[in-house]
Chain A
Amino acid sequence: DVKVTQSSRYLVKRTGEKVFLECVQDMDHENMFWYRQDPGLGLRLIYFSYDVKMKEKGDIPEGYSVSREKKERFSLILESASTNQTSMYLCASRVRSGANVLTFGAGSRLTVL
């Protein structure tokens, strides 16, 4: 089975801190995604990556950046965390093509104080 591993399940950070959320997949998937999930708002796409070193903005990229230096790893970076970035962050991957199913990680719940 494909595994998508998010390194931290729970994080608590202070306003202004730089935050790294790491995601690793083990099945050579080309596409990787970062979503945030908030009650009543569903999943909103932050960034996605077609392949190594490629990235595209999603619907809510402001305040975030990403890095994909290796195929298996897709990092989400909050340069200066703010309280409105308190959320559940979900990473997902798939084989190239929109027809394919996303495999999700367990999520990282970030609280910014």
Chain B
Amino acid sequence: AQSVTQLDSQVPVFEEAPVELRCNYSSSVSVYLFWYVQYPNQGLQLLLKYLSGSTLVESINGFEAEFNKSQTSFHLRKPSVHISDTAEYFCAVSEKGGSEKLVFGKGTKLTVNP
């Protein structure tokens, strides 16, 4: 069965600084990978996903994530964060061809300070 580890539970940064939120997964088969974001007092929404093809995927608001199969990682990065990026970020994995249930990590709370 698949699992997801988000190595940092909280990440405080200053505005305009770069950030990396780390995600590692475990699976015996090929996977689909996702990052979801939850802004304060809101539901979860998709930030970006990796299904196949190019290992670098981007979101519309400047985040990107790179699938690294050898390191079983899918780290999320942004070169310059804004106050409005303050949220909780969840990495998730779904196994291809299996039950395809979606399993989430424990989340990383990103706090962007002025």
Contact = CB atoms under 8 A, between A and B. Distances in A.
B32 interface: yes
The 7 tightest CB contacts between A and B, nearest first, are A98-B100, A98-B94, A42-B106, A43-B104, A42-B107, A104-B43, A104-B44
B102 A42 contact: no
Contacts of B11: none
B95 interface: yes
Interface stretch (A11-19, A33-41, A67-75): A33-41
Contact of B90 (A40, A43, A92, A98): A43
Interface residues of B, number: 25
10 contacts: A35-B104, A40-B9, A42-B6, A42-B105, A45-B104, A90-B43, A90-B44, A92-B44, A98-B95, A99-B96
A112 interface: no
Nearest to A56: B99
A100 B107 CA distance: 20
A101 B49 contact: yes
A27 interface: no
Contact of A99 (B9, B45, B51): B51
Interface of A: 31, 33, 35, 40-45, 48, 56, 58-59, 90, 92, 97-99, 101-102, 104-107
B56 interface: no
B43 A98 contact: no
A59 B103 contact: yes
B82 to A, nearest CB: 24
Nearest to B45: A104
A45 B103 contact: yes
Nearest to A41: B106
B102 A98 contact: yes
A102 B34 CA distance: 10
Nearest to B98: A98
A98 B44 contact: no
A94 to B, nearest CB: 8
A33 B104 CA distance: 12
Given A43-B90, A90-B43, A104-B43, A98 B32 contact: yes
Nearest to A48: B101
